[in-house]
Structure 1
Amino acid sequence: MERILNVKPLTMDDLPALEAMDTGIGDDYVVRIFDRLIESDSHELFGLFQDEQMLAVGGYSLFGQKKLAMLGRLRSDLRFQLKGNATELLRSVVDQLKSDDRVSWIGANTHLGNLPARRVLDKLGIQQGPVLHYLTLVRPDLLTGHTSGPVWDIVQDVDKKRDLLSELEDNALKVFPYECYYPLPYEEALLTDEYLNDATFYQNPTGTRFVIIKNDTKKYHYSHVKYFWNDHYKQAGFFETLIDHWKNNHDNIGCWIDFSDEGFRNIQDLTPYNVQEPWILYGMWKDTNSQ
């Protein structure tokens, strides 16, 4: 018998169907913040239904004046796996984004070892991008092998902050780590005055390096570190700068740092960090000439 499936945007009326799904996630934040996601103008959730039963859920978040769309929050009912439900849902979501004139880039960020999700993205024609390592510095007293030095100077002027980013010649990360869990392509539209004012820029004494630290909350409060080179341990005062920022923002539980593959391999001792499984960013430009 042929399955009749329907994909639709979710409303508050669909919360019971979401709660009835068997996703294997005990405390699912999507359920906890469902009302905020539904009411937001920068997040969208969709459900794949068979009759009244929700088989899969997923959606996207929009960034940079809604030019960049990050797919996410994908869950499938474990009782109906291996039926292509996730692919069916995301294909419909991607088709909608492709028809949205505001959106120029569509991407997704998933664990490197999440092979089912990666197969879905491959089927949708979304290309593999850089691998990233998310580490949270929680025991700075255990740091070894780094070059000590004075805390870097704070950059106050918004125009100077924007100039530092626009003059960046090298970006070892191959992305702009906009938020924790949300690495995005570098896009001027991300750099609003509000975003830059909320971010603290530090520049080293020689003017050859800078680091951005922006407080971010993903369940916990973090000092989110945005550094675009792989020489964390060689730059005098880099870690002193991070630790000083953390001391001045004592509600944060640590310093979240996005490392490239090479930057991660440069770390000789991981004991000061909480280490996540590696992530991989997928992405596609609607206009291939804009890459």
Structure 2
Amino acid sequence: MEQVMNVKPLTIEDYPALKEMDTGIEDDYVVRIFDRLITSDSHELFGLFQNGRMLAVGGYSLFGQDKFAMLGRLRSDRRFHMKGNATELLKPVVNQLRRDPRVSWIGANTHLGNLPARRVLEKLGIDQGPIIHYLILKRPDLLTGHTPGPVWNPVHDLKRKRGLLTGLEENSLGTFPYECYYPFPFDEALFTDDYLQVCSFFENPDQSRFVIIKNDTKKYDYSHVKYFWDDHYAQTGLFETILHHWNNNPDNVGCWIDFSDQGFKNIPELTAYDVQEPWILYGSWKKPQL
């Protein structure tokens, strides 16, 4: 008789079972940093088991003072695909998050073309959100079509930084790109003093636009650009400002820029960038308890 599948939080004792999975991912960072993930206060990792074998792994990370839960790190054993294992794994995880009083939003970010993952998220009742294009500016010498100008004015005052964000009246991205690969709803819970302190803010001369640039590491170091309009190429001095940050952080391999679908279409020439397949953000706010 086939043993029933069960989902449980992972511990260091589960490392051999994780290593035995055939995921097809070379140099999987989940395997590399497994010990850190299972001992972290902000990350949780779960496994789906049957007969002592791990069929799937996945979990979530908490952000914004634990208000936002981002599902991720989902891997399945290729020998057991098409069996609904990803849904089976994430269903109790999502139910746990829905019971967690700290968490107000549950979401996931996946490739636009990853139809199996998108079907899983839809089965879990998580709503489809905006499409996001992640481009890495690596060849500034090939930039064309932008509007050159002086570097924008730096903003150092914490109160002014917060005021720029809270006073934002339009947001073409439809998200707040908190980190590389981690966009969230635009929410003040993400704007902690510590976070704003390490972000570099620059404001254009007529104070109609601002850009936020923060050093971030996703395997490599980047200048991560947060710009909330689609007029990158029309804004005088925006790219000079972005490159100014990179020049002051020469260990970064490039400037990671989040573009909306329309912002991406506005780019006249892509040769200056490394272009990823588009991503799509899924997310749902929890309904208030009656």
TM-score, with length taken from structure 1:
0.98
Q: Aligned pair in 2 of structure 1 residues 2, 16: CA closer, same or farther (>3 Å)?
A: closer
Amino acid at match of 1:22: D
Which residue does 1:149 correspond to in 2?
Answer: 149
Stretches of structure 2 lacking an aligned partner (at least 5 in a row): none
Q: Aligned pair in 2 of structure 1 residues 168, 288: CA closer, same or farther (>3 Å)?
A: farther
Stretches of structure 1 lacking an aligned partner (at least 5 in a row): none
Which residue does 2:202 correspond to in 1?
Answer: 202
Q: CA deviation at 1:193?
A: 0.8
Secondary structure, aligned partner of 1:103:
coil
- CA distance in 2 between partners of 1:26 and 1:256 (Å): 24
Q: CA deviation at 1:287?
A: 2.2
Q: CA deviation at 1:188?
A: 1.2
Amino acid at match of 2:134: Y
Which residue does 1:85 correspond to in 2?
Answer: 85
Amino acid at match of 1:147: T
Query: Is the Cα contact below 8 Å between 2:3 and 2:51 reproduced in 1?
Result: no
Deviations 1:252-287 (A, max 9, x none): 000000000000000010000000000000001102
Amino acid at match of 2:19: E
Q: CA deviation at 1:51?
A: 2.2
Q: CA deviation at 1:189?
A: 1.3
1:231 and 2:231 aligned:
yes
Instruction: Give the alignment of 1:246-285 within 5 angstroms.
Output: 246-285=246-285
- CA distance in 2 between partners of 1:22 and 1:275 (Å): 28
Which residue does 2:28 correspond to in 1?
Answer: 28
Secondary structure, aligned partner of 1:72:
strand
Which residue does 2:243 correspond to in 1?
Answer: 243
Which residue does 2:286 correspond to in 1?
Answer: 286
Q: CA deviation at 1:238?
A: 0.2
Which residue does 2:74 correspond to in 1?
Answer: 74
Amino acid at match of 2:267: I
Secondary structure, aligned partner of 2:109:
strand
1:188 and 2:183 aligned:
no
- CA distance in 1 between partners of 2:282 and 2:137 (Å): 26
Query: Is the Cα contact below 8 Å between 2:140 and 2:272 reproduced in 1?
Result: yes
Which residue does 1:18 correspond to in 2?
Answer: 18
Q: CA deviation at 1:207?
A: 0.2
- CA distance in 2 between partners of 1:250 and 1:266 (Å): 28
- CA distance in 1 between partners of 2:38 and 2:4 (Å): 25
> Where do 4+ consecutive residues of structure 1 move more than 3 Å?
none
- CA distance in 1 between partners of 2:165 and 2:58 (Å): 33
- CA distance in 1 between partners of 2:251 and 2:201 (Å): 19
- CA distance in 1 between partners of 2:145 and 2:203 (Å): 21
Secondary structure, aligned partner of 1:56:
strand
Q: CA deviation at 1:187?
A: 1.6
Secondary structure, aligned partner of 2:256:
strand
Q: CA deviation at 1:3?
A: 4.5
Amino acid at match of 1:65: Q
Query: Is the Cα contact below 8 Å between 2:111 and 2:279 reproduced in 1?
Result: yes
Q: CA RMSD in A?
A: 1.0
Q: CA deviation at 1:288?
A: 7.0
Query: Is the Cα contact below 8 Å between 2:58 and 2:89 reproduced in 1?
Result: yes
- CA distance in 2 between partners of 1:219 and 1:45 (Å): 20
Secondary structure, aligned partner of 1:133:
strand
- CA distance in 1 between partners of 2:257 and 2:101 (Å): 33
Q: CA deviation at 1:21?
A: 0.2
Secondary structure, aligned partner of 1:18:
helix
Which residue does 2:107 correspond to in 1?
Answer: 107
- CA distance in 2 between partners of 1:259 and 1:61 (Å): 23
Q: CA deviation at 1:2?
A: 5.0
Amino acid at match of 1:159: K
Deviations 1:81-129 (A, max 9, x none): 1111000001111001001000000000000000000010011110100
Amino acid at match of 1:18: L
1:217 and 2:217 aligned:
yes
Amino acid at match of 1:122: E
Secondary structure, aligned partner of 1:101:
coil
TM-score, with length taken from structure 2:
0.98
1:50 and 2:30 aligned:
no
Amino acid at match of 2:56: A
